[in-house]
Amino acid sequence: MQRKRTCGPGLAALAVALLIIWAMAAFAQSTATKDSGVGKAGADQANQPVTTLSVKVNVVNVLATVRDKHGKIVNTLGKDDFTISEDGRPQAIHYFTRESDLPLTLGLMVDTSMSQRRVLDQERSASHGFLDQMMRADKDKAFVIHFDREVELLQDLTNSNEKLEAALGKLTTPQPQFKQTGGGDPNDQGGDRDGDDNRGSGRGQGRHRMGGGTLLYDAIYLASDELMKKQQGRKALIVLSDGVDRGSKETLETAIATAQKADTAVYSILYKDDEGNGEHRGGFGMGGPWGGGGGVGRRGGGGPRYPQEQRPDGKKILARISQETGGRMFEVSKKLTVDQIYAQIEEELRNQYSIGYTPDRANAGGGYHKIQLVAKGKDLVVQTRDGYYASE
């Protein structure tokens, strides 16, 4: 007797599973067919040019220090305590904060011409202490430049106190240089020897002293244009000099404008050696942009700048540079030592207000724009830059 074969539970389950798989595949194919039109439309849209709106917002940032009538720094003011105008037009302050922790970029620039030779040790020692006190290894950085008849970068930007101290140790006044220009006794050093290493006036008298300029303007220009312009945050140059420029290719106006464009404040320390022999004669600058006796040859002096003037007023020159860049000029004296001056600069740099606004005239154009920042409190004096250069 034959037994009738029937589908067991396993075969039935398998059949159901195959039916479900077939149904899902059919649905997926149908969906893909419908979506192909949408995908093609999306691809067509992606190939179409996209119209974008580009809005350029020009935000002007101003760093300021405020003092009372006694010269004491005031660091408790708020946004509403200030008014600001650009080219005489009132502006709305959109950004305000008291800055004491922003990264700081410092440039220490030391005049090593012969007029400074008797005070150079004091400048070097005070600069050591200032950098040790001011620099925060995790945030700040500095560089060291010396200038005399050339401009030389002794230490590029670094946060290493050891490297900065080593650079300060290299600060020396230049040795006199002589150049054979004609016949005569080769042992005759000719020319006028005026008691220092400045250039004599005896051109054509045998051997001539070369160099001896003080390239102050070139130094500020190079530091601002080649170093500071690339940095962000707070930026300040510290210039130790008697303020007398001899032989720079750049003008005073160009040096100031370049510092302004780099948003760099210049603090000047007038250090005169009244008892020593100053630079009373014009010289001939030498060297490339960072010294080295030529090289690029773009910077290095172009002969006496003041052929008719015995000695420019270095104090007025340094005061102008500092005022127009938002810094301050100090004069070393028996009552105010260079160490005390450095302490005041440090206090200023750690107690600043940062104020930002967007000019109300978006199409005001490039060029220089005058800024006037005023604190509303009685007898308060605001120290900040005079203006800024807008891009075209």
Q: What DSSP element (H or E) covers 81?
A: none
- Coil, helix or strand for 387? strand
Task: Identify how many contiguous H helices and E strands the chain contains and give both numbers.
Answer: 7, 16
Which of the two residues, 159 and 29, has the higher pLDDT score?
159
Confidence of residue 72 (pLDDT cuts 50, 70, 90): very high
What average pLDDT is seen over the chain? 76
Do the beta carbons of residue 232 and residue 103 sit within 8 Å?
yes
Rounded Cα–Cα distance for residues 56 and 280 (Å): 51
pLDDT in the model for residue 263:
93
163: phi then psi, degrees, rounded to nearest 5: -70, -40
pLDDT value, residue 19: 57
Residue 56: count other Cβ atoms within 10 Å of its Cβ.
Answer: 6
Q: Which two tokens stand for residue 103?
A: 């990264």
258 contacts 251 by C-beta, under 8 angstroms? no
Task: Specify the range with the lowest mean pLDDT, choosing from 128-137, 145-154, 261-270, 323-332.
Answer: 128-137
CB contact set of 114 (below 8 Å; sequence gap of 6+): 148, 173, 174, 196, 197, 198, 212, 277, 279
pLDDT digits (tens, 9 = 90+) for 213-224: 799 999 999 999
The residue among 118, 249, 108 whose CA lies nearest residue 168 is 108
227-278 pLDDT, tens per residue?
Answer: 999 998 899 999 999 999 999 999 999 999 999 999 999 999 998 766 554 4
Q: Which residue has the tokens 């006044």?
A: 173
Name the residue with tokens 């691809």.
43
Determine the average pLDDT of the residues in 330-354. Answer: 92
Q: Are 236 and 327 in contact (CB under 8 A)?
A: yes
pLDDT band, residue 190 (cuts 50/70/90):
very low
Q: Which of 74, 117, 38 is nearest to 347 (CA)?
A: 74
The pLDDT tens digits of the residues spanning 275-305 come to 554 443 333 333 445 654 333 334 444 444 4
Model pLDDT for residues 88-104, shown as the tens digit of each residue:
999 999 999 987 777 89
Question: At residue 339, does pLDDT exceed 80?
Answer: yes
Name the token pair of 374: 């005023």
Q: How far, in Å, CA of 253 to CA of 317, rounded?
A: 11
Q: What percent of the chain has pLDDT over 70?
A: 65
C-alpha–C-alpha distance, residues 371 and 94, integer Å: 16
Cα–Cα distances in Å, from 214 out to 90, 126, 151, 167, 366? Answer: 42, 22, 9, 20, 33
Q: What is the mean pLDDT of residues 99-125?
A: 87
Locate 97 and state its tokens. 């904060």
Pairing of strands 60-67, 352-357: antiparallel
Q: How far is Cα 288 from Cα 291, in angstroms, rounded to an integer?
A: 5
Q: pLDDT grade, residue 22 (50/70/90)?
A: low
